[in-house]
Structures are given as structure tokens and as C-alpha cells.
Amino acid sequence: MIEIGIIGGTGYTAGELIRLIIHHPKIKIKSIVSKSNPGRLIHLIHQDLLGEIEGIRFNRELNQEIDIVFLCSGHGQSRKVLNQVSDNTKVIDLSQDFRMINQSVFNNRNFIYGLPEFQKKEIKKSNNIANPGCFATSILLSVLPLAKNKLLRKDIHISAVTGSTGSGGRLSNTNHFSWRNNNISSYKIFQHQHLQEIEQTIHQIQNNFSSKIYFIPYRGNFSRGIITTLYTHSTLSLTKNREIYEKYYEDHPFVNISDINIDVKQVINTNKCILYLLKEKDHLIVISIIDNLIKGASGQAIQNMNLIFNLDETYGLKQLKSVRF
């Protein structure tokens, strides 16, 4: 069994990790660290785990006898907590701290950007993974086939709506129920932090891409999920574009191409990304849906862990089913 630890055990991403791990056939939880709740029973924080993780408490310090640790402490905290981790322990970081190439080396650790559909072979050879952002995952899965075939020649225009869990568990004005309910708003227009990793990845695949990426994110009045709508110039037919997408994703089990329009409920509680392609005159439109907490965070982290340990990448993830009603 692979013995794992989690640092930052009380947040949304850690809660999803625990739910996935307790049903994973090859993983055993050894240590879950929480500075705010050391010694407290885990199911008192993640209350849906009552009856599934009885008697296990949050630790104050990380048990060093683990194979891999997941860092869920939030942005800007990973360098601090890595000082608690043995050099022999593999690391998957769910923050943004190591996603950029110029920030990917720390204490002799070289972090690989962990988007399996982008660089699965490199992930398999790595001991340190920077898990992608949720918006970045949804957007990059919409354009990877185009970049791979050097088909991104004009500006890319994107709008995307995310659920309130994308803001984390700490209460703020914009994720408070009375503000979020029956409401929607845009934010960080053309300035969202995930743009950096999106641009970096596209340029790694298609180094001659010199156009602009215009991204408008929205806060939605639902809890979880992301729907992204992207369009860019394309001279190819819809049929040809679809062939390119199907070819690219034929060996990637969590990405599917839909024949009909899609909605967020199709992917909630799954590690799937579903894409829907349209053609309007000389523009290709790509709609993408993911669960921001699973494919956009904890599920993708498990997928990366499976690859690192040479397991089937679907282990612990295929049993997840969406809930339509």
C-alpha cells in the first residue's frame, strides 16, 4: 500500500482528497496535518465522513514514514510546509506556488506541471508535481489539441463561470450565501492568476503562438463546477476539428467529446472533462465542463499520484458518478 500524508487537512481540497483516498484500492492514510484543529476528530470537520473515517484525528506534525504528501495549505504556504517534509517523500502541491517554470525548483526539488493530458510521460518520471489550477485545467483541455497541431493563429477569447468552492472555505463577501445566491459577477478581467500557467503551457506546445488570450472569469451562484466557453479563429471544418480533438484525447480516459450541448451537472462529483465543439463561420467554439474540486484539484492530484507510482491512472476515480438531480 502507498502511505500518504496531507498537510492542510481542513479545507475543501483536503476534504475531497480524503473522500477519494478512503476508497482508493492502493492507498492508506498515515497522517493528516491541521494547524487549526490538531487532535480533533476528522469527521467533526468533514462531517459527511461520519462512519467512514471514525477515530482518526488531525495531527499537529507530519508522520515522516510516508511515501507521498499532498500540500493543501493554500497559495504561498507550500515553501514553508515543505521544510517539514523528508527529502525522500514525493510531493503533490495543490497550490499555485510551483506551477511556473521560473518558480518550479525548491530545496533540490524540481516540480513538474501536473496536467496529465499535457505531459503524462514527464509526470510518470517525476517525484514532485505542481497540480494545475481549476480554471487552467478547464481552459487548457479546451485548446491542447489546437496547440499540438499549431492551429492557434489568432486571439483566444474565453469566459468561464465557477462555483463558490473555487474561493476556498474561508468566509468572504463574495462567497457568503446572501451575496452569492441569485447573483453573478465578473472579476479579475484579463488579469486572473491562472492566465500565467495557461500562457506558459500553450507556448511550450506551440512556441510560435504570439496572439493574445482574453479571459473573463465569473462567480456563479452554485457551489461547485466550472463551465468554460472559448472561441478562436479556425479555417478547418467542424468535422476536421473534431477529428483532431478525438485523436489527441484517445489515450486520455477522463476527457470526452460530446455530440450535443453540455451542462455542469454532467461532471459534478467526477474526474471528467467533457468538451463540446461548435463552428460559427470562421470561429471554432469549445465548451468545457469540469468539477473544480475534483478534476480541477483533488481528483487530478490522485490521477497524478497514480501516474507517479505506475498505477492505472483511473484508480480510485472511475467509481465517481455525477448526480443529475
| Nearest alpha carbon to residue 274 among 137, 73, 96 | 137
Radius of gyration for the alpha carbons in the chain, expressed in angstroms and rounded = 19
Out of 134, 151, 202, 289, which one is annotated catalytic? 134
Let me know: does 40 contact 34? Beta carbons within 8 Å. Answer: yes
- For residues 62 and 147, give the distance between their C-alpha atoms in angstroms, rounded to a whole number: 41
The DSSP-derived string for 148-210 is: HTT---S-EEEEEEE-GGGG-SS--TTTSHHHHTT--EE-STTT-THHHHHHHHHHHH-TT--
- Judged by phi (left if over 0) then psi (alpha if -120 to 50, else beta), residue 150 lies in left
- For residues 121 and 1, give the distance between their C-alpha atoms in angstroms, rounded to a whole number: 23
Residue 134 annotated among the catalytic residues of the structure: yes
- For residues 279 and 69, give the distance between their C-alpha atoms in angstroms, rounded to a whole number: 44
DSSP letter at 67? S
In sequence order, the 6+-apart residues with CB closer than 8 A to the CB of 107 are 82, 83, 87
Let me know: does 270 contact 291? Beta carbons within 8 Å. Answer: yes
- For residues 260 and 309, give the distance between their C-alpha atoms in angstroms, rounded to a whole number: 36
Beta strands 156-162 and 109-110, pairing class? unpaired
- For residues 177 and 164, give the distance between their C-alpha atoms in angstroms, rounded to a whole number: 9
Active site residues per annotation: 134
